[in-house]
């Protein structure tokens, strides 16, 4: 088909070009045969132009709709650790061959964990005489997997995360579809898969499980069993346990032996700049383009966030020791559009006090400008974050300094300890022994120590700050379910965010990076409004297209956020004279007088007849009352919405326990009211999901 269109276009081009040349240069027209001239009158040219224009329009629209569909397919998290420089050559086999490597580790990663694991595996290959390379499937011609066998003893490993409803990450989407739709013969391809997921989500590790199975179906050889990492428990532990069993099996499969050497090569080379010779381009927190934070140019996205003014930042809780913020962001003039149900991404910065502490603990001047440059020249990722920049910028904008450091970081830190006991302790925690794992779990995870706490509590450890900058993961944007409707608020986006702050067992107060920063962004009349870099992320969490369709929304706590937008939208339609179906909300909080957010608004919607409210105040009486209890009590209403009225169900908020409990209740009600077995009820619910009549927007 394409070649047919292409031939047609070439034909039109051949016919048109002489005529155009004729118009532009009369002299050349003399060389055009009379027959051609007589073929084209002015009318011909007009008709042909319309035809060409039409074909062009068709392709433009097709591409645009493909792009839109791709955007729709994606979910809340946009990758931010994107390669700063795209590679022009997408042949990974050529790259492997030219650099004498036999191991390629592909990653499907949104927030960087899968990419980090891939990097660690590739690096370890050297220890087993298998020089490795990390590769982003989006930048590779994955069809080349059929040729990988041309490299002796070659192995492809896939570290793949799952998101949404069992979806791959953006960068693995094309590869995933290629596997689903294609029938390549992968005989001779050696592979292994490690999945990154979270058991609190319905579709646990589905992408990795599918890829592992599909590669085998296509004839590839599974060298080692799939590993499944659970981010709800300890994904680091899952990974190191899997890879410790993986390597001996790989050695046996290929008949190779470990060199026994510990691999602690640096991936990046340091370049520091003298104060009197500063580089021309110094990044100051931009995600990609230099000065993009000052000279703003749409379109705005993860690489080019919009600097939005905060118009409103008010407290929603009436009493109690917690805080929930209602924040309104100005998007006037940004050309950004949103729909109720989309997510707002915020790029936070780290706490200044923690940044300064890190400078002191590592005895480094934070104003020093530096670059980290990848020693692997074949890698498309030249720097771990935008470089050159100062250490202060790196620690403030680019690096996660508040998460629990992973074991590979501890292993590298051990080398910087002057006290042998400290060194042993860090080594033990980074080992895979039961004792080491237990200590890591207690000292890092349970005690919630971040890198600053670790260096404070192990004072003999004095790492080079540039090495730390190489080891720490990237600071990620935080996502918030948008709590407004563009019908009512076309030039502002609202969010509803709970302040994260908690005491740790070591007596420290840990503060959420983004929410603590947002809490300080208070607009006041007398000065310029505070600003925050943001972008909007499309989601699939959508109201039904017909306003008559009934909707039942379940959103305790901040789970109410997207439903505020939905309710605004339904009310707008009602005031516009449209028929609006039942709009039912199940909301829960701890105490009516404390954390019943948006109480006045909700009760006003109830009074004006739009909303039916079901409220569960969990701590206003001795026994807990949750939204799930109310749902079960109102089984008839739930069944009525689901079955008799073909309505839509929505769940938003805590993925860990609430969403699972609510799903169980829904299955039970379908089973009872629809006279089905449990299996049939589950299948019924899955069908509702595929029909987009049951949607979830959950996080943990
Ligand atoms: C799709 C999506 C939509 C979201 N929508 C909303 C929303 O509408 N409203 C909202 O408030 N949040 C929402 N979130 C969560 C939000 O993105 C952030 O995770 C949250 O605001 C915390 O960010 P932070 O930077 O302040 O905290 P961080 O610095 O990221 O700290 C949070 C981490 O601290 C730890 N932690 C938190 N509390 C405790 C505790 N009590 N004990 C021990 N450890 C703890 C946990 O490891 C947690 O992951 C959403 C998340 C996603 C993925
Ligand atoms: N990653 C983060 O940093 C972060 C930040 C904010 C929120 N969250 C997640 O989002 C969730 C919501 O947070 P929030 O502060 O908005 O809400 P919340 O105030 O913690 O909870 C809202 C209501 O839901 C109730 N609830 C607890 N378990 C439930 C269950 N299984 N089924 C139904 N209701 C249940 C709570 O009751 P009780 O409390 O009385 O049991 C409370 O009444 C949190 O649980 C947390 O997992 C994560
Ligand atoms: C919004 C969101 C949705 C997720 N959906 C799923 C899911 O459906 N199934 C699953 O197993 N894990 C799910 N996860 C967990 C991630 O896959 C897990 O945290 C993983 O480690 C992320 O890897 P990455 O940092 O490489 O992107 C989800 C996480 C988030 C934040």
Q: Which ligand is nearest to the CA of 168?
A: 3
Percent of the residues in the chain that have a pLDDT greater than 90, as a whole number: 81
Query: What is the SS3 assignment for 48?
Result: helix
Q: Tell me if 109 CB under 6 Å of ligand 3.
A: yes
> 499: CA distance to ligand 2 center in Å?
13
Catalytic residue chosen out of the listed positions 400, 469, 652, 654:
652
CB contact burial 87-126 (16+ within 10 A = b; e otherwise): beebebbebbeeeebbbbbbbbbbbbbbbbbbbbbbbbbb
Ligand 3 atom having least distance to the Cα of 161: 17
Whether residue 84 has pLDDT greater than 90:
no
Q: Is 258 a catalytic residue?
A: no
The answer to whether the CB of 626 falls within 8 A of the CB of 615 is: no
Alpha-carbon span 318 to 314, nearest angstrom: 11
Alpha-carbon span 396 to 367, nearest angstrom: 12
Alpha-carbon span 278 to 106, nearest angstrom: 37
DSSP 8-state symbol, 105? E
Q: Which residues are annotated as a binding site for FMN?
A: 109-114, 161-164, 196-205, 231
Tell how far CA 99 is from the center of its chain. 32
Q: Tell me if 76 CB under 6 Å of ligand 3.
A: yes
Which has the minimum average pLDDT: 53-62, 78-87, 188-197, 531-540?
78-87
Catalytic residue chosen out of the listed positions 308, 334, 481, 484:
481
What does pLDDT average to over the chain? Answer: 89
| Tokens read off for 588 | 């829960």
Q: Tell me if 199 CB under 6 Å of ligand 3.
A: no
Alpha-carbon span 426 to 429, nearest angstrom: 5
pTM of the shown model: 0.88
**Predicted confidence band of residue 72 (pLDDT cuts 50, 70, 90):** very low
**Mean pLDDT to the nearest integer, 478-494:** 98
Alpha-carbon span 450 to 121, nearest angstrom: 24
User: What's the pLDDT at 26?
Assistant: 33
Alpha-carbon span 299 to 638, nearest angstrom: 42
pLDDT single digits (tens) 226-280 = 999 999 988 999 999 999 999 999 999 999 987 766 666 788 999 999 987 778 8
Sequence-ordered strand ranges (E) for 273-396: 306-315, 324-330, 343-346, 369-374, 389-390
Q: Tell me if 200 CB under 6 Å of ligand 3.
A: no
Burial of 643 (0-12, 13-18, 19+ CB in 10 A): middle
Alpha-carbon span 374 to 384, nearest angstrom: 8
Q: Tell me if 205 CB under 6 Å of ligand 3.
A: yes
> 531: CA distance to ligand 2 center in Å?
29
Give backbone dihedrals phi and psi of 285, rounded to 5 degrees, phi first: 125, 0
Ligand 3 atom having least distance to the Cα of 235: 21
User: What's the pLDDT at 70?
Assistant: 40
Nearest protein Cα to ligand 2, atom 21:
557
Q: Tell me if 427 CB under 6 Å of ligand 2.
A: no
Cα torsion for 684, 688, 691, 693, to the nearest 10°?
A: 160
pLDDT single digits (tens) 405-457 = 999 999 999 999 999 999 999 999 999 899 999 999 999 999 999 999 999 99
Catalytic residue chosen out of the listed positions 167, 212, 342, 697:
697
Alpha-carbon span 625 to 617, nearest angstrom: 6
**Predicted confidence band of residue 379 (pLDDT cuts 50, 70, 90):** confident
Q: Which residues are annotated as a binding site for FAD?
A: 478-481, 496-498, 502, 512-515, 699
Alpha-carbon span 223 to 700, nearest angstrom: 34
Q: Which residues are annotated as a binding site for NADP(+)?
A: 322, 558, 618-619, 661
Q: Which ligand is nearest to the CA of 700?
A: 2
Residue 616: C-alpha distances to residues 28, 348, 623, 625 (Å): 83, 33, 11, 6
Give backbone dihedrals phi and psi of 586, rounded to 5 degrees, phi first: -105, 115
Q: Tell me if 559 CB under 6 Å of ligand 3.
A: no
| Beta bridge partners of residue 648, listed in sequence order | 551
Ligand 1 atom having least distance to the Cα of 75: 1
> 658: CA distance to ligand 2 center in Å?
8
Q: Answer with the residue of higher pLDDT: 636 or 57.
A: 636
Q: Is the dihedral of CA 669, 673, 678, 682 positive or negative?
A: negative
Q: Answer with the residue of higher pLDDT: 73 or 106.
A: 106
Nearest protein Cα to ligand 3, atom 17:
197
Q: Which ligand is nearest to the CA of 518?
A: 1
Burial of 406 (0-12, 13-18, 19+ CB in 10 A): buried
Q: Which ligand is nearest to the CA of 502?
A: 1
Tell me the DSSP string of 469-522.
HHHSPBPPPEEEE--S-TTT-TTEEEEEEEPPEEE-TTS-EEE-HHHHHHHT--
Q: Is 102 a catalytic residue?
A: no
Q: Answer with the residue of higher pLDDT: 365 or 645.
A: 365
Cα torsion for 165, 171, 177, 183, to the nearest 10°?
A: -140
User: What's the pLDDT at 526?
Assistant: 84
Q: Which ligand is nearest to the CA of 167?
A: 3
pLDDT single digits (tens) 546-589 = 999 999 999 999 999 999 999 999 999 999 999 999 999 999 99
User: What's the pLDDT at 376?
Assistant: 85
Q: Tell me if 619 CB under 6 Å of ligand 2.
A: yes
Alpha-carbon span 345 to 329, nearest angstrom: 11
The answer to whether the CB of 196 falls within 8 A of the CB of 160 is: yes
Ligand 1 surroundings by CB, under 6 angstroms: 76, 343, 348, 402, 448, 478-481, 496-498, 500, 502, 512-515, 558, 561, 699
User: What's the pLDDT at 258?
Assistant: 79
> 269: CA distance to ligand 3 center in Å?
32
Q: Is 652 a catalytic residue?
A: yes
Domains of the chain in start order, with CATH, are 2-73 (no CATH), 92-254 (3.40.50.360), 267-287+351-475 (1.20.990.10), 296-348+477-540 (2.40.30.10), 551-699 (3.40.50.80)
pLDDT single digits (tens) 334-368 = 999 999 999 999 999 999 999 999 999 999 999 99
Number of Cβ within a 10 Å radius of residue 23: 9
pLDDT single digits (tens) 118-157 = 999 999 998 898 999 999 999 999 999 999 999 999 999 9
Nearest protein Cα to ligand 1, atom 31:
512
Q: Report the residue count for the chain.
A: 700
Alpha-carbon span 387 to 287, nearest angstrom: 10
Q: Tell me if 660 CB under 6 Å of ligand 2.
A: no
Q: Is 88 a catalytic residue?
A: no
């Amino acid at each position: 088909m394409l070649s047919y269109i292409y031939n047609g276009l070439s034909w039109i081009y051949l016919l048109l070009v002489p005529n155009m040349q004729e118009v532009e240069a009369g002299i050349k027209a003399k060389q055009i045969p009379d027959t051609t001239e007589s073929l084209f009158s002015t009318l011909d040219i007009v008709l042909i132009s319309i035809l060409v224009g039409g074909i062009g329009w068709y392709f433009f629209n097709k591409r645009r709709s493909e792009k839109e569909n791709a955007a729709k397919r994606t979910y809340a998290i946009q990758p931010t650790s994107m390669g700063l420089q795209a590679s022009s050559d997408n042949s990974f086999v050529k790259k492997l061959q030219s650099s004498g490597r036999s191991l390629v580790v592909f990653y499907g990663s949104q927030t960087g964990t899968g990419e980090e694991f891939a990097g660690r595996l590739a690096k370890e290959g050297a220890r087993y005489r298998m020089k490795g390379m990390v590769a982003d499937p989006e930048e590779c011609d994955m069809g080349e997997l059929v040729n990988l066998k041309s490299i002796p003893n070659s192995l492809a490993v896939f570290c793949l995360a799952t998101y949404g409803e069992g979806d791959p990450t953006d960068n693995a989407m094309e590869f995933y579809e290629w596997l689903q739709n294609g029938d390549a013969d992968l005989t001779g391809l050696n592979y292994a898969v490690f999945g990154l997921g979270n058991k609190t989500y319905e579709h646990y590790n589905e992408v990795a499980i599918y890829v592992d199975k599909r590669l085998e179906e296509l004839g590839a050889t599974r060298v080692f069993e799939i590993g499944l990492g659970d981010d709800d428990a300890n994904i680091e532990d899952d990974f190191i346990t899997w890879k410790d069993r993986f390597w001996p099996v790989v050695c046996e499969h290929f008949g190779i032996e470990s060199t026994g050497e510990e691999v602690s090569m640096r991936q990046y080379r340091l370049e520091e700049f003298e104060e009197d010779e500063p580089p021309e381009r110094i990044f100051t927190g931009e995600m990609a383009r230099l000065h993009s934070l000052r000279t703003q140019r749409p379109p705005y996205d993860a690489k080019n966030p919009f600097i939005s003014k905060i118009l409103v930042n008010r407290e929603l809780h009436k009493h109690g020791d917690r805080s929930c913020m209602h924040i309104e962001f100005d998007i006037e003039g940004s050309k950004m559009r949103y729909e109720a149900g989309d997510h707002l991404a915020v790029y936070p910065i780290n706490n200044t006090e923690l940044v300064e502490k890190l400078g002191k603990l590592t005895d480094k001047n934070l104003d020093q400008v530096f670059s980290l440059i990848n020693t692997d020249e074949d890698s498309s990722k030249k720097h771990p974050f935008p470089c050159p920049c100062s250490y202060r910028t790196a620690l403030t904008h680019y690096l996660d300094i508040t998460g629990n450091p992973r074991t590979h970081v501890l292993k590298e830190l051990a080398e910087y300890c002057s006290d042998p006991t400290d060194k042993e302790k860090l080594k033990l925690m980074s080992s895979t022994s039961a004792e080491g794992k237990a200590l890591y779990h207690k000292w890092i995870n349970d005690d919630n120590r971040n890198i600053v706490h670790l260096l404070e509590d192990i004072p003999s450890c004095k790492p080079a700050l540039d090495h730390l900058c190489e080891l720490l993961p990237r600071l990620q944007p935080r996502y918030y379910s948008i709590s407004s409707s563009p019908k009512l608020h076309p030039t502002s986006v609202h969010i509803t965010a709970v302040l994260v702050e908690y005491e740790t067992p070591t007596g420290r107060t840990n503060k959420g990076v983004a929410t603590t920063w947002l809490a300080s962004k208070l607009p006041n009349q007398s000065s310029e409004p505070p600003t925050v870099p943001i972008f909007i992320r499309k989601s699939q969490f959508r109201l039904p297209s017909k306003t008559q369709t009934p909707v039942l929304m379940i959103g305790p706590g901040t789970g109410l956020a997207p439903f505020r937008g939905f309710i605004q939208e339904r009310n707008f339609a009602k005031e516009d004279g449209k028929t609006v179906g039942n709009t039912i909300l199940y909301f829960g909080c701890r105490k009516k007088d404390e954390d019943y957010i948006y109480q006045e608004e909700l009760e006003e919607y109830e009074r004006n007849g739009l909303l039916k409210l079901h409220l569960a105040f969990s701590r206003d009486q001795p026994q807990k009352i949750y939204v799930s209890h109310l749902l079960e009590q109102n089984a008839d209403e739930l069944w009525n919405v689901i079955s008799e009225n073909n309505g839509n169900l929505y769940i938003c908020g805590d993925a860990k326990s609430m969403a699972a409990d609510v799903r169980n209740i829904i299955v039970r009600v379908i089973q009872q009211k629809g006279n089905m077995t449990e299996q049939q009820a589950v299948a019924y619910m899955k069908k509702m999901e595929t029909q987009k009549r049951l949607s979830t927007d959950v996080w943990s």
